[in-house]
Chain A
């Protein structure tokens, strides 16, 4: 039920982000969503893209520290309060969310998040009728 996110180590100095983006551009990889978790000296650049497995290989070939992480993509209505409703379900099930980001796609909200317990999260999604999106569905939506 999870999808692949690329997690990329980038140093906090000019020229590092463009190196990653150029490598993706050359490989004709499309970025669907991205966010950077930064510290004073480096950041973890997280991104959802088309063909994540190939993207990962291409970045590795470009000598970039990259890894694949399993995250959930849940579709919600683009209405106030829907994100709160979704997160409340996990919170009540005792599932911690390590990080989350969101974006709009064709008028729908997409929540991307990583949990401390993917198996349990998956069953909570099913039990509560949340609409999780798999990788092929997400990339074909673009």
Chain B
């Protein structure tokens, strides 16, 4: 498709989606009316600049279904991702959405060189997280054999990779390295397995990680990008060139903005990535601010695809962390700590990577007033630790190691990264 044809298609779809949300989502109707915008004012893709932005906070304020456009009877699946506080972000999908998602995912796999002859293992988490089911449906849509391995049980997974002659793998890049390490431990050599394609994403990774994964697993590793607020994995994907990720821009229209001034930035400049869903029915979003910092690559790709590419994610314009592929906001930890009077409202997240697996430690201060005579044994203190760890696990979806600190030992400082020490070298 030529660029002109793409722009024309995007313009047409943008008009339609604005009209759709105007009539189906009070939140957007109010926002548009405030700006005195009618759906008919939006005719070409350039008109997108007139539209208001959507933020994670908007999703939180309208929890759980406030931004849903389709009636519940049309929703056939719901996923949830981390919210900035206790409430997760809820995303509902219609049957058509699942179809578009599967199609976009199949495009990613095709770009990686996957065909219906492949046996493809999905080792993303299945469940509320979009990674597992998103990749799964794409593999099925393409017609390859899907192995729903999920996460955990690494030894059994490796046995299947070897015995079934699995050729494709979708997981986080750090899990791919963990697989390689477990292979070494079990004495499985890369000559013993048939892996040839990897779809790696859900967390940022580096070129040197790619080289290491490719060398140790004997495959070619491709980036996959996505976020549940927009769809899930398959928003963009690398091609054989491994130079930037092509965006499925007939469904997800990308913009790069200056996160401070909110002005649009031209191709090549790094800023915050913003997406508008052009075809989504369940929960469409207009100009959703991803908080991911990257650039759109100028020029066309040698692979022949004309859809625009995005560069590597270079950082975040907020304090979100990605730990074992799961989005974690320090404010989520804060909401848990504040809910327990035993602890002072101070905390510190210490993130590290040990043997290629991310670890999260949460330090909290015992509050003087709540340290009573019952805490004269380590068992009693351990119980308090466990109570906090269980609450954190339910809110964060990943396990955190709790470390109790004496009163006034965690530094109280200002600034957004004041609550986080990230020791990972990315």
A interface residues (Cβ-Cβ under 8 A, vs B): 5, 7, 9-11, 16, 37-39, 41-44, 46, 60, 63-70, 98-99, 114
Contacts and interface: CB of A to CB of B under 8 A. Distances in A.
Contact of A41 (B377, B404, B409): B404
A68 B368 contact: no
Interface in B362-412: 366, 368, 371-378, 381-382, 403-409
A6 B20 CA distance: 67
A107 B33 CA distance: 89
Contact of A65 (B371, B377, B378, B403): B371
Q: Is the interface of B mostly helix, strand, loop or mixed?
A: mixed
Nearest to A5: B376
A136 B86 CA distance: 51
Contacts of B372: 67
B64 to A, nearest CB: 38
A39 B366 contact: no
Contacts of A65: 366, 368, 371, 375, 406-407
Contacts of A39: 378, 381-382
B371 A67 contact: yes
Given A11-B405, A60-B368, A63-B368, A42 B381 contact: yes
Interface of B: 366, 368, 371-378, 381-382, 403-409
A24 to B, nearest CB: 16
A44 B376 CA distance: 6
B368 A69 contact: no
A87 to B, nearest CB: 18
Contact of A7 (B368, B376, B382, B406): B376
Contacts of A60: 368
A45 B406 CA distance: 13
A43 B381 CA distance: 10
B378 A7 contact: no
B8 to A, nearest CB: 62
Contacts of A5: 376
A21 to B, nearest CB: 14
Shortest beta-carbon contacts, A-B, top 5: A7-B376, A65-B371, A69-B373, A69-B376, A67-B373
